[in-house]
Amino acid sequence: MEFITLNNGVSIPRLGMGTWYLGEKLSVREEEIEALQRGIDCGMTLIDTAEMYGNGLSEQLVGQAVKGYRREDLFLVSKVLPQNAGESRIRRSLNHTLRMIRTDYLDLYLLHWRGSIPLAETVRCMEELVKEGKIRAWGVSNFDTDDMEELFQVSGGENCAVNQILYHLGSRGIEYSLKPWMDAHGVVLMAYCPLAQAGSLQRELLMHPVLNKIAGAHHITVIQLLLAFVLHKENVTAIPRSGNAAHVQANAEAMKVRLSEREWMEIDHAFPAPEYKCCLDIV
């Protein structure tokens, strides 16, 4: 597995697993646990969850899946809801998350999206949690360029290590201003929904002749090519979600995909990045 070094020296895997919607159906719980464990065994030791996902059920699923693995070999991430990201609630939220995941610290704790609590208060809380050893690093999610600029004006805001945002071949708007800003300021991009996560857009991508031609030439699936596109970018880690062990293993193999510069140019031509500022896509 390849790693990226965060701005505080912590190493984060380039490829991990998301858990949105996982853990909510008892009928497939064992299958989902198997999928997460397969991913860990394949080197995808980064697991992302959130207190919002299934009202804690996804965090609980992660806790069951990682039981038996050495904690130091894992990179566990969760997210706090905006209304809980202040002095009066953040410790209660974090402690509940830690109980659900069955750990005594998180490797990364994210503000899920902006709310009414001042950024200065949230940053102060995050910095305190780092000092207390409850989290190793902190970051944000769904922050656009102006949000990041405002965050970095806050005392301690420059310690934001990660911004988790939607990013895939069919949604490249962040490449115009947000990603360049993050690269310049040492903030890692954590891409959620890197496979366009089902729906009509994903079907359009899966049927595209250019993607099928290139995928066929490398004996991979278009899904693996979509993931390889995200991983080809510098300063990016990706967290595709799947509750199927075979699909998770296929995702892990996308790390090995190597395309020629000409093939990347073909993909860029078929799916060009916008030449103007776009609104941040959020799912």
DSSP state string for 136-180: S-EEEES--HHHHHHHHHSTTGGG--EEEEE-BTTB-GGGTTHHH
Name the residue among 138, 241, 236 with its Cα closest to residue 189: 236
Burial class (CB within 10 angstroms; exposed 0-12, middle 13-18, buried 19+) of 127: middle
Q: Which pLDDT value is given to residue 197? A: 79
* The two structure tokens encoding residue 263: 């093939």
Active site residues: 53
Residue 276 inside a domain? The answer is: no
Q: Which pLDDT value is given to residue 203? A: 85
Read off the CATH number of the domain in which 50 is found.
Answer: 3.20.20.100
Residue 88 inside a domain? The answer is: yes
Q: Which pLDDT value is given to residue 66? A: 98
Residue 278 inside a domain? The answer is: no
Residue 275 inside a domain? The answer is: no
Helix (H) or strand (E) holding 192: strand 188-192
Domain that holds residue 59: 3-270
Residue 233 inside a domain? The answer is: yes
* The two structure tokens encoding residue 231: 């991983």
Whole-structure pTM value = 0.96
Residue 162 inside a domain? The answer is: yes
pLDDT tens-place values along the chain, 283 residues long: 899 999 999 999 999 999 999 999 999 999 999 999 999 999 999 999 999 999 999 999 999 999 999 999 999 999 999 999 999 999 999 999 999 999 999 999 999 999 999 999 999 999 999 999 999 999 999 999 999 999 999 999 999 999 999 999 999 999 999 999 999 999 999 999 999 976 678 888 999 999 999 999 999 999 999 999 999 999 999 999 999 999 999 999 999 999 999 999 999 999 999 988 988 888 7
Q: Which pLDDT value is given to residue 167? A: 97
Structural domains in the chain (count): 1
Q: Which residue has the tokens 């996308």?
A: 254
Please give the Cα distance from 140 to 84 (Å, whole number): 14
DSSP state, 48?
A: E
Residue 277 inside a domain? The answer is: no
Residue 280 inside a domain? The answer is: no
